[in-house]
Amino acid sequence: MMTQLLHRFFIAISIVVMASFFINPSHAQNYLSKTIRLVVPFTPGGSKDILARAIGQKITEAWGQAVVIENVPGAGGSLGADKVAKSPADGYTLLMGHIGTLVVTPSIYSSLPYHPIKSFSPVAWIAKVPNVLAVHPSVPANNFKELVAALQLKPNQFNYGSGGNGSAAHIAMEYFKLQGQTLIVHVPYRGTLPAVTDLVAGQIQLIFSGAPAVMSFVKSGQLKAIAVSSQKRLTSMPDVPTVAESGLASITNFEADQWYSIVAPAGTPPAIIQQLNTPINNSLNSPDLKSRLQAEGAQAMPTTPEALGKFIASEIERWRPVVIAGKVKAD
């Protein structure tokens, strides 16, 4: 999902699109002639990987062209992002963009080999994934108020896990700590899957993770779901209230959803961007993929590349103060 919001005025964009179709029509005509590589800049098993494989399957069905998922973890997702940024701008190498890679990581690394806006062209917004605040059954809390009270009673005596420093789970919990006025110890992992595994085993006590990574454990009773970060409850977890429903005076307008998008290297011809965007949006609007995403706790977000670019820019501004307040540092 993401990173190009060079505010290309709509007139300028229309001129470029027309040029790509009429001055150089081969860009569009010759596209989709070989395998597409979709880079997921994190380890397998997390929400990003689950959603990438779901959308990759639908792209393959729509185009009859293989989509290969390549996991390139490391440095908060920046290794995979850099690999895509430096790839040919021909539409055959794409990035599964994410709030961590395109918004948080640029705020915590003093220097990155890519720029979150200038290095990419936005293609398609895939989905929003509300975070689920999940705890080990040993934690003495069954709702949000009880959890905040338990954390405030014993500052720095509970541990929370994340997929690494600067990951979406890390930032969501720092946001929660600020609003809930709690002190919790961060334990960074190399990916969401090992963090959730240790949570189930009782090695850590809390996590704020995308719904797909914890849903099965909640349903099996191995974890307790305390709240979701979205403004509305999840269709797949209707009994889990939102943070905003907690009624705590210190919690105001809480929303800390993850989101995923597909971006391409900067300079990818607009004709190819559109040729990617249209079938992806068609897939996201299909009843089967919508229901599949809903079952995973995700909400399909079909939109234009231009709207995606503007959204990424607004997210960078929104989360930078949280990164600074939480003193989030790179590994």
Residue 24 banded pLDDT, cuts 50, 70, 90: very low
Do the beta carbons of residue 272 and residue 91 sit within 8 Å?
Answer: yes
Please check whether the domain covering 10-129+258-325 is classified as CATH 3.40.190.150: yes
3-class DSSP assignment, residue 237: strand
Span 131-246: which CATH code? 3.40.190.10
User: Is 90 exceeded by the pLDDT of residue 210?
Assistant: no
Do the beta carbons of residue 288 and residue 305 sit within 8 Å?
Answer: no
| Paired residues of 210 in beta bridges | 131
pLDDT value of position 46: 64
C-alpha pair distances (Å), 179 with each of 61, 145, 173, 184, 217: 44, 13, 10, 13, 27
Rounded Cα distance, 297 and 295, in Å: 5
Do the beta carbons of residue 259 and residue 303 sit within 8 Å?
Answer: no
Q: Where are the alpha helices (DSSP H) in 264-304?
A: 270-285, 287-295
Do the beta carbons of residue 137 and residue 223 sit within 8 Å?
Answer: yes
Rounded Cα distance, 322 and 26, in Å: 45
Segment (H or E) for 210 = strand 206-210
Do the domains 131-246 and 10-129+258-325 match in fold?
yes
Does 53 or 90 have the greater pLDDT score? Answer: 90
The whole-number average pLDDT for the span 116-123 is 96
- pLDDT tens string 162-201: 988 888 889 999 999 988 899 999 999 988 899 999 999 9
Rounded Cα distance, 313 and 28, in Å: 28
- What sign does the CA torsion over 126, 290, 166, 172 have? positive
| Paired residues of 187 in beta bridges | 161
User: Is 60 exceeded by the pLDDT of residue 142?
Assistant: yes
The whole-number average pLDDT for the span 144-157 is 95
119-135 as b/e: b if 16+ CB within 10 A: bbbbbbbbbbbbbbbbb
Is the pTM value of this prediction over 0.85? no
The whole-number average pLDDT for the span 147-153 is 96
Does 12 or 301 have the greater pLDDT score? Answer: 301
The residue ranges of every structural domain in the chain are: 10-129+258-325, 131-246
pLDDT value of position 331: 64
